[in-house]
Amino acid sequence: MEKVRSIFGTILPSPRQIEKSFPRTAAIRYIYFIRQDDVVKIGITTDVKKRLGILRTQGSSSSPMLLLTSFPGDRDDEAGLHRRFDHLRSHDEWFRAEPELLELIAAFDTPASEPAPGALLAFLSEDA
């Protein structure tokens, strides 16, 4: 490396410095619906499987958690869902598993119906 520096007469950036200079691409986020007993968690994550594992270890209930569905989305989608179902809120991001919420989940439970990020807000505003 000293030879390279002396040939060019300047100190070259390290590979780590080069890596830091490139903009990072945003990870794909997923809206997920996880059911436990009579409540459903509406959340967002970049790794659904990992998030489910974390929730299982943090949970106080011995009841199993079931991933109902997940699809690409963003924080605006998540916030829109929380607002839409606020009247069903049990606590934090957990909502009572009532028919209107379960019907929405069923509507998005097929690969062909995955919305593009941001598209869910338009869907929610139509039904509001």
Tens-place pLDDT, residues 72-100: 889 999 999 999 999 999 999 999 999 99
Residues 6+ apart with CB under 8 A from 106: none
Which is more confident, 39 or 20? 39
Q: Are 40 and 48 in contact (CB under 8 A)?
A: no
pLDDT higher than threshold 50 for residue 121: yes
pLDDT higher than threshold 90 for residue 10: no
Instruction: Please tell me the pTM assigned to this model.
Output: 0.68
Give the per-residue pLDDT at 75.
92
Q: Name 71's bridge partners.
A: 31
**Burial zone of 22 (CB within 10 Å; 0-12 exposed, 13-18 middle, 19+ buried):** exposed
pLDDT higher than threshold 70 for residue 71: yes
Residue 63: band (very low, low, confident or very high) from pLDDT cuts 50, 70, 90: confident
Give the per-residue pLDDT at 6.
46
Number of DSSP helices (H) and strands (E) in the chain, helices first: 6, 5
pLDDT higher than threshold 60 for residue 106: yes
The position carrying tokens 């209930």 is: 61
